[in-house]
Amino acid sequence: MLYEINEKVIRLEKEGKKIIKFNLGDPDQQTPTEIINAAFEAMKKGKTKYASAAGEKELREVLAEIHGVPADNIVVTPGSKWAIFAVMYLLLEKGDNVIIPSPHWTAYDLAAKSLGAEVRLLKTSLETEWKVNPENLERLIDGKTKLIILNNPNNPTSKVMDEKVVSKIVETANRKGVKILSDEVYADISFIKTKSLLEYGGEHIIIKSFSKTFAMTGWRIGYAIADKQIADKIIKLNQITLTNVPVFIQDAALKALEYRQKIIQMIREDYWKRAEMACKMLSDTKLKFTKPEAPFYLFPKLEGLDSERFAFDLLDKGVAVAPGTSFGDYKEHFRIALTAPDDEVEVGLKIIAEAFR
């Protein structure tokens, strides 16, 4: 449904209509100039050749230092999505299953199914503040379970997982010998502290990205942190599929890390302000929602809502959102991505608020 909405957006824009786009998680901010210049300098220096399938040594070392792991455990990938697919490709055989708390990013689902794996969704709900129940999760595990996917902070709820819950899930996974893939692409810019799965122990896989943290979505660069055995397998898979992430893009990423504190602070503040504004503007409507603890989504609910129909109706009023059905069994929800410029965010939220007053 996400694709259908986006196609209609593109069509309406071509017809000259102005659409406020809350439907995609693609930041409106521009990639900082320092990063762009670093890529250009690298190109001019001839960093346009084949390179290591693991990622450049220097970038891996800086990332290793940030995360307190050996550089051998870092693999640079063309986006976090590739890292997620690669892990599934390596761990899942046809007939295996993967457990995913829902609502969830649809790419997990599609990748697992493409590989012939069964997806077992564990539903969470607004009423219990999107809390994952570790006992219910354990009940889904059987001999064919190869992977649990956590998305912390979560897309579409912008909820940070309770640390006790994560502890319990890790304990269960370690006991049962199941790997966890922890997708933490929103963690660096989250509004409240988000403890990485790295800090919980056990040999699991952490997925990170430059996309959201540095407004670099279209650069396609992310990385996996994994034990050496899995890291080496991802590197081997990179060798036969992609060769390497362009070195000039890795140089740009290295520059992003140099300005890390400054950029993160700026981006986090932008989204925090928007989240505050959204909560305020939607507070006197019939919508129920949890306050975002991270960028950049709200996932409000109205009992009885047909979110697909609502999304198409709202599009006629010039605002695009994603229906809840794009994230699992959430027909009464829709996702607002606060990734439009500030003035548009205000106008768009007003239109949504009016629809639910």
Question: Which residues lie near its own copies (CB under 8 A)?
Answer: 24, 26, 30-31, 36, 39-40, 43-44, 46-51, 78-79, 81-82, 85, 94, 107, 110-111, 114, 215-220, 237, 239-249
Three-state helix/strand/coil letters over 234-294:
HHHHHHHHCCCCCHHHHHHHHHHHHCHHHHHHHHHHHHHHHHHHHHHHHCCCCCECCCCCC
Strand order in the sheet with 334-337: 297-298, 334-337, 322-323
Cβ nearer to its own copies, comparing 220 with 301: 220
Cβ nearer to its own copies, comparing 60 with 159: 60
CB atoms within 10 A of CB 303: 7
Taking the C-alpha atoms of residue 95 and residue 40, their distance in angstroms, rounded to an integer, is 46
Query: What does residue 15 show for φ and ψ, rounded to 5 degrees?
Result: -75, 0
Minimum separation from the CB atom of position 246 to its own copies (A)? 6
Burial of 234 (0-12, 13-18, 19+ CB in 10 A): buried
Element (H, E) at 41: helix 33-44
Cβ nearer to its own copies, comparing 137 with 216: 216
Q: Residue 247 in contact with residue 255, Cβ under 8 Å? A: no
Task: List, in order, residues 6 or more apart from 134 with CB less than 8 Å away.
Answer: 165, 168, 169, 172
Minimum separation from the CB atom of position 127 to its own copies (A)? 31
Cβ nearer to its own copies, comparing 30 with 229: 30
Termini Cα distance of the chain: 26
Minimum separation from the CB atom of position 269 to its own copies (A)? 21
Cβ nearer to its own copies, comparing 105 with 289: 105
Cβ nearer to its own copies, comparing 26 with 171: 26
Minimum separation from the CB atom of position 210 to its own copies (A)? 11
Q: Kindly tell me the number of DSSP H helices and DSSP E strands found in the chain.
A: 12, 12
Minimum separation from the CB atom of position 239 to its own copies (A)? 8
Cβ nearer to its own copies, comparing 114 with 283: 114
Cβ nearer to its own copies, comparing 27 with 300: 27
Q: Residue 165 in contact with residue 122, Cβ under 8 Å? A: no
Q: Residue 5 in contact with residue 320, Cβ under 8 Å? A: yes
Minimum separation from the CB atom of position 76 to its own copies (A)? 13
Q: At what angle do helices 247-258 and 33-44 cross, to 10 degrees?
A: 140
Minimum separation from the CB atom of position 81 to its own copies (A)? 6
Minimum separation from the CB atom of position 207 to its own copies (A)? 14
Cβ nearer to its own copies, comparing 259 with 356: 259
Minimum separation from the CB atom of position 70 to its own copies (A)? 19
